Structure 1
Amino acid sequence: MKIGILKETQKGERRVSISPNIAKQLIAKGFEIFVEEDAGLKSSYKNSDYADVGVQVEKRGVLYKEAQVLLKINPFDEDDLKLVDKGQILISQLYHKSNAELIQAIAAKGATAFSLDAMPRISRAQDMDVLSSQNNLAGYKAVILGAYEMTKIFPLMMTAAGTITPSKVLIYGVGVAGLQAIATAKRLGAVVEATDIRTETKEQAQSLGAKFISVDNEGEASEGGYAKEASDEYKRKQKEAVDKSLFQADLVITTANVPGRKAPVLITEEQVLQMKNGAVIIDLAAAQGGNCEVSKMNETVILNGVKVIGTTIAPESVSTNASELFAKNIYNFLMHLIKDNAFKWDLEEEITNETLIVKEGEIRQK
């Protein structure tokens, strides 16, 4: 089976879907691997690094002609689909619930598509879950970015000139990104608080040293392990419970995304206006509309002395690690889907069923 690794074209993207190390493992399993020229350069992987492990380095057009399976991180775009042939298998993050036109276009080509972001949140799929592996890095990097943007240090510091009190960090969302943010901020010496609609995350947050801000969530629940859209009543209760901590925080990190929907607004403009002068908000949900009402994607907004940074953050900014983890997720996914160098197409199996969005031109998931 021939697999093609495409160069990412989305603005700001620095990752590559398969690293040379994982390509070598795939070749050992009997796959023939092609990679587009310079696909790994921004992740510090040279063309020669791929060639040295047996990967064929080719121009973009050759990959589309040769490969049966095409791999990307970001959704296939209009230019990509011009080159896709009937029967080819596409694997990437498709965000199919909010990307209906793309799914229709893939179906019109008679192609097959798996969406990595549709991976079910079950224990068997953990080693294939790209959202978890990438969000782990995002949580870490959010704290590092916050430390750079703040005008204070994190830890308690006792000096001859006086004592510096530790910074206060507030984290919305105790998923993979939030947990890593808690751990990183604690290691750097901050006082950390966290909140989440999922009360089952309380113990996890506390185990990492954060104070959990509990909010009565009767009638609320999660969906498939992900936080769901909260009711207006819950949002009101959360605002009341969190306001004191928010107004005292030096750094706030928001991580709340709802798959396939606009991100919930957790911090209003009115709340920002009541925060400390010099406080920093890192909004990791900016790509889906933002958890902070005033945030803008890839922009820094300063409101009443509060710096609001809208980002997805990125895994892109630590692209070497991010690419290696993403590649391992794909490797595990391919090993799950394929037997004896052919796809099993086991549609009775949960992972295959939920990630297979289009099969040979037929849309299966909407």
Structure 2
Amino acid sequence: MARETRAGEKRVALVPELVTKLTGLGYQVAVEPGAGLPALISDEEYAAAGAVLDARAFGDADAVVSVQPLAIDRIRGLRPGAATISFLPTAEEREVVAALRYAGVTSFAMELVPRISRAQPMDALTSQALVSGYRGVVVAAEMLPRFFPLTMTAAGTVPPAQVVVLGAGVAGLQAIATARRLGAVVQAYDVRAASAEEIRSLGAEAIDLGLEPLEGASGYARVMTEDRAALQMQRLAPYVAAADALITTAAVPGRPAPLLVSRAMVEQMRPGSVVVDLAAESGGNVAGVVAGEVVRIGSAQVWGGADVPSQMPGPASRLYAQNIVSLVTLMTADGAFAPDFGDEIVAGCCVTHGGAIRAQ
């Protein structure tokens, strides 16, 4: 397992409790010293689980696992034919992809794992979205200067916070569930028809804008026209204005996030209101959001999410590590790393192999 080198990344690709699953497959597991410290995992825990702590093993590895793509100088230190497994957004990491191809390294991108039933244990986008959805509500609750739950005392009654969630994928549903656990009154909207039932199952109100659903491929929403987007904003505006906290979660890997909320809509929110945009890194669902910063629009504070799962490195790492181990297990034959490119999961998430780029 490689030590993460990108600023702010606190997750790790393997946790001690899963080391034995890899050694049981016949692998020797090497961990770079200090790799687990950002996630509060000590070298001693890895060693006790059976891993070897060796910074020099990196160049001889058959497969290197990480969260973020390896730095180019580290890729050059890999032997030809070695493999890397990590998140690897090809559109933003073209230099890294070129370095992997030139080095003769086989690389696999976790975000390209096909969204099919058999691949669910390897679906890192889903596992990390789960963390983001929870974290988004915790951030909103911390920033909002009022209670989330209904509170009744001898001194009077404090009404519950009104929370609106836009997007009911994995992150959105987790945000809904978490806000409801904290006692808020929750309304949520998603353009997909099937989402309304999922929203209601969590005790929230499904917002009905009277618009045609936009079902897309692989469980994502279909891209909407400008006219549809404008009408959707118009009909969402009163819900946003009435919200104490707005949480937006709509994102599609490899594409800019859809703009769901205009500045004018945010400016109609009450003083002290909070907006949490979990799609800020891919452009944001809210106009004016800045990833990694809190900006003020009107009377509302707008929090732009940046590497949100890394803000909860313990659970995020454990979920991601299970995804990694599941994928490595699929690529193992007779105790050796031997990916079968006839398997649609292996082929679907492969970015480079044999000196060629297989995914753009």
TM-score normalised by length of structure 1: 0.94
1:251 aligns with 2:245: yes
Q: Is the 8 A contact 2:12 2:39 kept in 1?
A: yes
Q: Is the 8 A contact 2:13 2:66 kept in 1?
A: yes
Tell me the equivalent position of 1:24. Answer: 20
Deviation at 1:84, TM superposition (A): 2.7
Deviation at 1:237, TM superposition (A): 2.6
Tell me the equivalent position of 1:56. Answer: 52
Tell me the equivalent position of 1:92. Answer: 86
Tell me: CA distance 1:150–1:122, structure 2 relative to 1, closer, same or farther (3 Å). same
1:304 is aligned, of 294, 298, 301, to 298
1:164 aligns with 2:163: no
C-alpha RMSD of matched pairs (Å): 1.5
Distance in 1 (CA, whole Å) between partners of 2:211 and 2:343 is 33
Tell me the equivalent position of 1:206. Answer: 200
Tell me: CA distance 1:206–1:103, structure 2 relative to 1, closer, same or farther (3 Å). same
Distance in 2 (CA, whole Å) between partners of 1:198 and 1:100 is 32
1:36 is aligned, of 32, 36, 45, to 32
2:137 is aligned, of 104, 118, 143, to 143
Tell me the equivalent position of 1:348. Answer: 342
Distance in 2 (CA, whole Å) between partners of 1:255 and 1:345 is 34
The 5 A counterparts of 1:262-341 are: 262-312=256-306, 314-341=308-335
Q: Is the 8 A contact 1:85 1:111 kept in 2?
A: yes
Tell me the equivalent position of 1:192. Answer: 186
Tell me the equivalent position of 2:254. Answer: 260
Distance in 2 (CA, whole Å) between partners of 1:234 and 1:24 is 52
Deviation at 1:303, TM superposition (A): 2.0
Distance in 2 (CA, whole Å) between partners of 1:207 and 1:82 is 50
297-306 vs 207-216, which moves further: 207-216
- The residue type paired with residue 8 of structure 1 is E
Tell me the equivalent position of 1:358. Answer: 352
Tell me the equivalent position of 2:170. Answer: 176
Tell me the equivalent position of 1:113. Answer: 107
Distance in 2 (CA, whole Å) between partners of 1:270 and 1:306 is 12
Q: Is the 8 A contact 1:98 1:261 kept in 2?
A: no
Q: Is the 8 A contact 2:60 2:78 kept in 1?
A: no
Q: Is the 8 A contact 1:286 1:310 kept in 2?
A: yes
- The residue type paired with residue 125 of structure 1 is A
Deviation per residue, 1:21-80 (Å, 9 max, x gap): 111221122110100111101212100111112211122xx1332211011111223232
SS in structure 2 at match of 1:9: coil
Distance in 2 (CA, whole Å) between partners of 1:344 and 1:67 is 13
Distance in 2 (CA, whole Å) between partners of 1:30 and 1:84 is 21
Unpaired runs of 5+ residues, structure 2, are none
Unpaired runs of 5+ residues, structure 1, are none
Tell me: CA distance 1:77–1:214, structure 2 relative to 1, closer, same or farther (3 Å). farther
Q: Is the 8 A contact 1:169 1:250 kept in 2?
A: yes
Q: Is the 8 A contact 1:285 1:291 kept in 2?
A: yes
Tell me the equivalent position of 1:124. Answer: 118
Q: Report percent identity of matched pairs.
A: 37
Distance in 1 (CA, whole Å) between partners of 2:349 and 2:51 is 27
Distance in 2 (CA, whole Å) between partners of 1:218 and 1:355 is 33
Deviation per residue, 1:297-323 (Å, 9 max, x gap): 111101222100101352212211111
Deviation per residue, 1:3-28 (Å, 9 max, x gap): xx011112111111000111122112
TM-score normalised by length of structure 2: 0.96
